[in-house]
Amino acid sequence: MINLNETVLGIELGSTRIKAVLIDREHKPIASGSFEWENQLRSGIWTYDIDDAVAGLRACYSDLKRQVQDRYGVLLTTVAAIGISGMMHGYLPFDREGKLLCPFRTWRNRMTAEAAERLSALFDFNIPQRWSIAHLYQAMLRSEPHLSRLAKIQTLSGYIHRLLTGEYVVGLDEASGMFPIDEKTGGFRSDLLDRFDSLVRDEGYSFSIRDVLPAPLPAGASAGYLTQEGAELLDPEGDLIPGIPFAAPEGDAGTGMVATNSVRVGTGNVSGGTSDFAMIVVERLPGVHEEIDMVTTPSGLPVAMIHCANCTSDINAWVELFSEFAEKTGNPVEKGDLYELLFQEALKGEPDCGGLLSYNYYSGEGITHLSEGRPVFARTPDSRMTLPNFMRNHLTSALATLKIGLEILLRDQKVPIDSLTAHGGFFKTKGVGQRILSAATGVPVSTLETSGEGGPYGMALLAAYLAWKTDGESLEEYLDHKVFCSAKRTTVLAEPEEIDGFNRYVDRYRKAFSVECEAVRTIDL
């Protein structure tokens, strides 16, 4: 039996799955639900159908509700708190009635180069292309018709949160990817808001940027309550009771920091899934650098972020090919078993992948300055084409761009990295992704027993912090003393020859990068 009032719920709308995780008062996952979905490239824009987000949310919650009923014999009617997270940033514009004015533009798009460059210069602050303000200003530069009716912009997590609570707010980490944050006030930087309004004052738009952006909220702040309409949307069967408190909606970068307890200065984590990114909590803001995003933890500490738009998509495509082959032979293999087998084979490969090379770019990549991507696999006639080398190549390629970005942080900004905690699908097979990441960075890499739960678990922890924190207890203290004090941790350090092999691979990767550039130029979508 479980006491529903001693549980909290985290739901994340990720790149390939919508997942819900229910945790108990000991902060242990006790049930989960999921729904698979995928982005589409429509008219050159990476997007998701927003109706699919709502349908997937319902299906995910229904899956969780059924599991709670089957496992514990309890009808899921309430929890102590709920939190919604989603793919970071992007662009969802709405009119005054809450109608979406254009299809959701996700973090994956590389379509705002002009706006990002102009705003970075104006603000003296790096504005990445995926940030909401870059999308908004690019739409202004194009004079897009929907701007005449614009009232609000939001991220995916913030949009779902508003459907469930009616509140137009966003968590502090997610907010820091919409517009630069003032470390002292925890709000958007007033001086930069003024600069933006001055920039667009003569364009004829009736709105001020202050009115368009949602209100940023730090971890632990009340972000509203489940409304009757929200309860019916989430649970059409009518069993969910309104009035449940909500944590501020966050992006998957913030929930990843929480899920790995990487929210104190000096800590860092790497998330590996459709995209991969490193988050290093720093004492001071590094200088302005195009490859380094400055965001915050959910409680407002500065974070240097290296974000790469491409990680596991190419690996997934090759696993699908192997799965299809196995099925044709009459010996089908379960997907989970196939991933385990192929990832374990990668550890048997040569440290430099035997001369094989690939670029995993399904989309453009900011670190290497490409607006589009084309997956490429290449080898020389004398490359050692074995299954272990083939798989190690693709796992190494998945982290190659991240390594290039981290080198900028280490070399130019002198930010020390002594260890990292990893989570996400890339690290699901025990010890494999960890070892490849350790080879890429040269530092120990740890995973926690809850690493496989990833972002929705981190969002559940933020909901738990809202519901169960004591007066004056910081998020850092709560996680240290109540969540991770007895967490099981596995740490891996790559051998020197593996580190050297990864470096040789990246040297080859850089040297041949014109191959990827030429593929983008000559292979039409």
Q: Buried b vs exposed e over 122-139: b needs ≥16 C-beta within 10 Å?
A: ebeebbbbbbbbbbbbbb
The pLDDT value recorded for residue 266 is: 85
pLDDT tens figures, 136-178 = 999 999 999 999 999 999 999 999 999 999 999 999 999 999 9
For residue 193, what are its two tokens? Answer: 């808001």
Q: Using alpha carbons, select from 109, 110, 106 the residue that is nearest to residue 157.
A: 106
Q: What angle do CA 511, 517, 521 make, to 5 degrees?
A: 155
Q: What confidence score (pLDDT) does residue 449 get?
A: 78
| Separation CA 342–CA 355 (nearest Å) | 19
C-beta separation of 258 from 458 below 8 A = yes
Question: The tokens of 269 are what?
Answer: 């984590």
- CA–CA distance, 323 with 318 (Å, rounded to integer): 9
Question: Tell me, what's the pLDDT at 286?
Answer: 65
How far apart are the C-alpha atoms of 229 and 433, rounded to whole Å?
42
The string of pLDDT tens digits covering residues 197-239 is 999 987 778 789 999 999 999 999 999 999 999 999 999 999 9
Contact between residue 150 and residue 101 where contact means Cβ atoms under 8 Å apart: yes
Coil, strand or helix: which one is 215? strand
CA distance linking residue 514 with residue 512, whole number of Å: 5
CA 395 from centroid of its chain's CA atoms: 19
Comparing CA positions, the residue from 309, 304, 311 lying closest to residue 278 is 304
Cα distances (Å, whole numbers) of residue 127 to 89, 137, 159, 307, 372: 12, 11, 22, 13, 19
pLDDT, residue 525, reads 64
Task: Quote the pLDDT of residue 450.
Answer: 67
DSSP line for 487-517 = --EEEE---HHHHHHHHHHHHHHHHTHHHHH
- Dihedral of CA atoms 261, 262, 264, 268 in degrees, nearest 10, equals 150
A 10 A CB-CB count for 74 gives 16
Rg (CA), the chain: 22
Determine the 3-state secondary structure of 277 from DSSP.
Answer: strand
φ and ψ at residue 191, rounded to 5 degrees: -65, -35
CB 395, CB 269: distance < 8 Å:
no
Low-confidence ranges of the chain (pLDDT < 70): 285-287, 413, 450-453, 525
* Residue 236: predicted pLDDT: 96
Q: Do 499 and 360 form a contact (C-beta atoms < 8 A)?
A: no
